[in-house]
Structure 1
Amino acid sequence: MPGFLQSLPRIGSYRSLPYAVASLAMAAPMSLFAFAVAVSFEADSRVRAVIAVVALAVLMGLLGLLGPVRRLGIGLANGLLGIGLPTPARRPDAGSRLRSGLWFALHTAVSGVLVTVLGFLAITMFVPLAWLTGGQDRISFFWNDVPLGAWTIPFGLAMLFVALVVAAAATTGFRVGATTLLGPSAAELAAAAEQRAAVLAQRNRLARELHDSIGHTLTTSTIQAAAAAELVEADPAQVRRALGTIEEASRSALEDLDHVLGLLREEPAAKEPTRTLAEVDVLAVRAREAGLDVRLTVTGPVAALPAAVSREGYRIVQEGLTNALRHAGPGEVDVRVEAGPDRLAIAVVNALPGERPRTGRHGLAGLAERVEALRGELDAGPDDGRWRLSATIPLRAGA
């Protein structure tokens, strides 16, 4: 209760009034039908007024069963009540339609009552003016003739306070009701969760693509450019070879970048880059030109590997060589690729001085996710003073 009273000075506590007016304006076309129903009954005016309100609420409830009307109601609630209901499904289920119909019936009836009560309270707040202006000394109040006097001032202030409380309470009620009856169903929540998961998966995929391809190229090119700068005068031939490697790697990176940008535009490139373990020797050549002493050993029918497995194998070797360049610097790197009948085994081992800490393991995390998706295992860590990145991917179920 103290929190409710503290909210009275805030203008947002009185959103119920414009919401009620908008609701009645939306119900105005149906009021003619409700009036026709009311006049068909033999009763006094008060009973007919109640019948008209009930009939209007029922008609609005039936109208609220329609999907477009539900969306309109959610838009009004978000805009006028300041709540954040999510965009509804284009085709709501039966439960959502029934809740929507119930809400339209309830808030139409409550809006009518609220506007009537606030209108009456507004009139009573002007009673002190009749006494202060001295225009009259008596007033008809609740069908009684009442003398005016000083009592009208506190009475007017009390009616103002009551009006504020009623409007603020109606705002709270409208917000709770709209959230409950117009809020998403379990099916809509599940669909929204799936959509968010799909967006996150796409973002993760783009991040992996950029890290695996562009990150590798930038690391190699940076080291090559730094080495070439030191050999400009001493070994021009080596500089030309380094620049040629940078050019070739940059072209490859442009293909990858075009593919990633195509994914962002939802217009994929005509041909997605599909580098496999059949090109692992190209990786080794580039790494050697960047200063690594790569000892590559490939055994087994690598060319016969499933495409998905071969692509991930290429990325694993690429990540291992990139990390060796970035964290360990020039030195020996042993790369073993073994394609057996039941599984693919890859190991990239390099020296890792103790004073050079490893950072930025996002690439390894992405690789682990992709290897797990192929029912494989990835392991990375120090092993006998060296850093080992190893992966095993089964080629057959149960392998």
Structure 2
Amino acid sequence: MSGFPRSLLRPGGYLSVPYALLGTALTLPAFPFALVVVLIPGPPQLHFVLALAVVALVLGLAGLAGPTRRFGVAVANAMLGTDLPSPGRARPAWPDRLRSAAWLVLHGALGGLLLMVEGMLLLGVLMPVMWLNGDQGQFSFFGATTDAGPWTVPVALVMLVAALLLAAAATRGFRAGAAALLGPSAAERAALAERRAAVLAQRNRLARELHDSIGHTLTTSTLHAAAAAELVEADPAQVRRALGTIEEASRSALEDLDHVLGLLREEPAAKEPTRTLTEVDVLAVRAREAGLDVRLAVTGPVAVLPAAVSREGYRIVQEGLTNALRHAGPGGVDVRVEARPDHLEIAVVNTLAGAGPRPGRRGLAGLAERVEALRGELEAGPDGERWRLSATIPLRAGA
């Protein structure tokens, strides 16, 4: 059993009835406007048709409002179980407004019609009750008159099944109509895709920030803690320096973490930490205290670099030193930062250890994306007996 027959066995298959009740209720504020038709000379039939036209016109005008579309989508999702995306707070285009107006009119008209037919069918279910209570009245069907009797039982069952079938069919019809008239247009789908892409890009950026900051902090803290454990009795002063470095690095990582969590929760967060190439010497000091022989060379006016370039440059050096702490062989690590008039050059070079380096793929992939976003180039790989991480980032649009 699937599709339409299956909906007869689920309570959700009859959601059309409360949805129709709401549609009928939405038409009530429009009826006072229909009273003006009594001023027009003519037969009652004409007044009835004109009154319905006025009600439809008022509903259509109300459907042109932007909030009406958002309300229609929310109600369809809540009462019909649809999964229509919210149109957001942006002003809908006129084609979308017209679709919303058409759906509001259909919602009211079809809802009233469904309730009327359902009422007639369910009244037929009461015929056996009247007969069993001894009522020997007569029933009229399309001009024919017949007495009450046992025949009312099967007729009532047929009418009950018809009422259930109609309600289930109306539920599916309302869902299809809502999807067609309240569903996103091509422009809305494009805007929704852009919003989703922006969210994914933001999440990827935050993931890279956490990887760079927390990964570097954990690596340096682990090495400092191991060194402190070996020197706890022999060199207390060195232990204190190691603990101080761990404290400073942890505080910096907590600031980054607080900022990222604030963005994820969409809450006011602490001011975004600014890690730029002006602080690259702090990275070198931490790496030296963790046991690396870091030779840092900074040339050029790094303090006046564009903020985005300086931040990404800091992360490049941080990732290079983190990988060197994890995988470098014996020997020094050369870090070169050179700010030229038209571009920034960064290189982190260290010796290979054993079978070769095992740098974090996620870290290097994240760096490549960042550098590419700035129209730069990043290279990472063996260079003879050393591992080289280098990046070149242009500083001018035409570079």
TM category (shorter chain) comes to 0.7 to 0.9
Measured in 1, the distance between the counterparts of 2:109 and 2:41 equals: 20
CA distance in 1, matches of 2:147, 2:188: 60
Partner SS for 1:83: coil
Q: Partner residue of 1:114?
A: 114
Q: One-letter code of the match for 1:228?
A: A
Q: Which residue of 2 aligns with 1:78?
A: 77
8 Å contact 2:135–2:148 — kept in the other structure?
no
Q: Sort the Cα spacing of 1:182 and 1:305 in 2 relative to 1 into closer, same or farther, 3 A.
A: closer
Q: Which residue of structure 1 aligns with residue 144 of structure 2?
A: 144
TM alignment of 1:233-312, pairs within 5 A: 233-257=233-257, 260=260, 265-269=267-271, 272-276=273-277, 278-298=278-298, 302=302, 305-312=305-312
Cα distance per residue 1:29-67 (max 9 Å; x no partner): 22233355378463356x655554444223212222223
Structure 1 residues without counterparts, runs of 5 or longer = none
- In structure 2, what residue type is equivalent to 1:116? M
Cα deviation code 1:308-334 (max 9, x no counterpart): 333322221110111222344775433
Matches within 5 A, 1:85-124: 85-90=84-89, 91-124=91-124
Match of 2:32 in 1: 32
Q: What's the offset of the Cα at 1:80? A: 1.6
1:127-181 Cα deviation digits (max 9, x unpaired): 2333344421632223321234443322221111111111111111111112221
The structure 1 segments of at least 4 consecutive aligned residues displaced by more than 6 Å after TM superposition are none
Distance across 1 between alignment mates of 2:325 and 2:10: 61
> How many residues matched?
396
Q: Deviations over 1:251-299 (max 9, x none)?
A: 4445545655665644552x842421x4433322221210123244445
Partner SS, residue 104 of structure 1? helix
Q: CA deviation at 1:360?
A: 4.6
Give the CA RMSD over aligned residues. Answer: 3.1
Return the TM-score normalized by structure 1.
0.86
Q: 1:96: Cα distance to partner?
A: 1.9
The 3-state SS of whatever aligns with 2:3 is: helix
Q: Which residue identity is paired with 1:75?
A: A
Amino acid at match of 2:276: R
CA shift in 2, pair 1:72/1:329, >3 Å = same
Question: Are residues 1:221 and 2:224 paired?
Answer: no
Instruction: Give CA-to-partner distance per residue, 1:325-383, whole Å, 9 cap, x none.
Output: 23447754333334445433323233454668847533222221211121111123344
Q: Provide the rounded CA distance (Å) in 2 between the counterparts of 1:262 and 1:139.
A: 71
CA contact (8 A) 1:343 1:393 kept: yes
Deviation at 1:240, TM superposition (A): 2.6
Tell me if structure 2 keeps the 8 A contact 1:312–1:371: yes
Q: TM (normalized to structure 2)? A: 0.86
- Structure 1, 295-304 or 164-173: larger mean CA deviation: 295-304
Question: SS at 2:370's partner residue?
Answer: helix
Moved more, 296-305 or 78-87: 296-305
Identity %: 66
Q: Does residue 129 of the first structure (1) align with residue 148 of the second (2)? A: no
Structure 1 residues 23, 304: CA separation in 2 closer, same or farther (over 3 Å shift)?
closer
Aligned to 1:349: 349
